[in-house]
Amino acid sequence: MNAGETLGPVTFAVTRADLVAYAVASGDHNPIHVDESVALAVGLPGVIAHGMYTLALVGRAVAEWTGGAEVVELGGKFVAPVVVPAEGAAEVTVAGTVGEVDADGLRALALEVTVEGRKVIGAPKAIVRA
Amino acid sequence: MGIDAALAGRTFPPTAPYAVTAEHVATFAAAVGHPGGGAAEQLPPTYPIVVTFAALQQFLDAEQVELSRIVHGDQRFVYERPVRVGDVLTATLTVTGVRSIGGSDIVSTSSAITDAEGALVATAGATIVHRGEEA
């Protein structure tokens, strides 16, 4: 990959079944990710995806774009909930731009993570070994 | 119930050692659709959330905070080396800050993820938001 090159966009469909599977796999059994009545009771707009599920999709996109490059840093701020409907799916879009390789042989990817054009991860950061 | 601001600076006991198995990596990779599955050399980069979450859960239990009132504010992993199948990982959480905004408590944490030899594998910074009754 070359600096300035565009990555994606790639869109992932997220269903409630995905969140149930993720809860089991990750050990994060917060009911706001699987039970609408609990989510509504605590004032959320509905069942929301685990922030870490969305961040995992970023990790997946990075792995696909870089051919499995070593990731040395990954993170972001969960600025808006990804609300997942009972039927159908929420669509998370990840896009990026390749940065320069620094003196340590590391390359930052500038990323955007959105749902219906709205940012869901703020200041997403991925640094890979070039 | 709020979160005590005096917790800032406190380090909680380490989580029980967690053995990374090919089977569990495959389950996690399948759940997030990560390419290569469990056989890949590179685990999903967010895999260390498994031990990070265990540390957060342990913290919430110690403070008697209900999980359903928590949302994840941010998460950042800095990796010293890739996690591998066969690693035995432990997470040790330190509360780095507690502040209140609009009825919610925002708790910043940093968890050191170490291997069986005690070497640092990754540092996981997590901010969790405890949403008050009015939120």
pLDDT band at B133 (very low <50, low <70, confident <90, very high): confident
B14 neighbors B74 (Cβ within 8 angstroms): no
The boundaries of the domain holding residue A104 are 6-129
Task: List, for residues A26-79, the tens digit of each pLDDT value.
Answer: 999 999 999 999 999 999 999 999 999 999 999 999 999 999 999 999 999 999
> The domain B5-131 belongs to what CATH superfamily?
Hotdog Thioesterase (3.10.129.10)
CATH classification of the domain holding A29: 3.10.129.10
Task: List, for residues B14-36, the tens digit of each pLDDT value.
Answer: 999 999 999 999 999 999 999 87
Q: Which of residues 50-79 of B touch A (CB under 8 A)?
A: 50, 53-54, 57, 67-79
A19 neighbors B29 (Cβ within 8 angstroms): no
DSSP A30-61: -GGGT-HHHHHHTT-SS-B--HHHHHHHHHHH
**Is A26 among the domain residues?**
yes
CB contact (8 A) between residue B74 and residue A78: yes
Q: What is the dihedral of CA A79, A67, B87, B118, to 10 degrees?
A: -70
Q: Which of residues 75-94 of B touch A (CB under 8 A)?
A: 75-79, 82
Residue pairs between chains A and B whose CB atoms are closer than 8 Å: 122
CB contact (8 A) between residue B31 and residue A81: no
Fill in the amino acid letter for B60. Answer: L
**Is A72 among the domain residues?**
yes
- Residue A63: closest CA among B24, B64, B20, B33: B33
**Is A63 among the domain residues?**
yes
**Is A1 among the domain residues?**
no
Tally of domains within chain A: 1
* A63: CB partners within 8 A, 6+ apart: A69, A71, B34, B35, B36, B42, B44, B45
Task: Report ipTM (2 d.p.).
Answer: 0.96
**Is A89 among the domain residues?**
yes
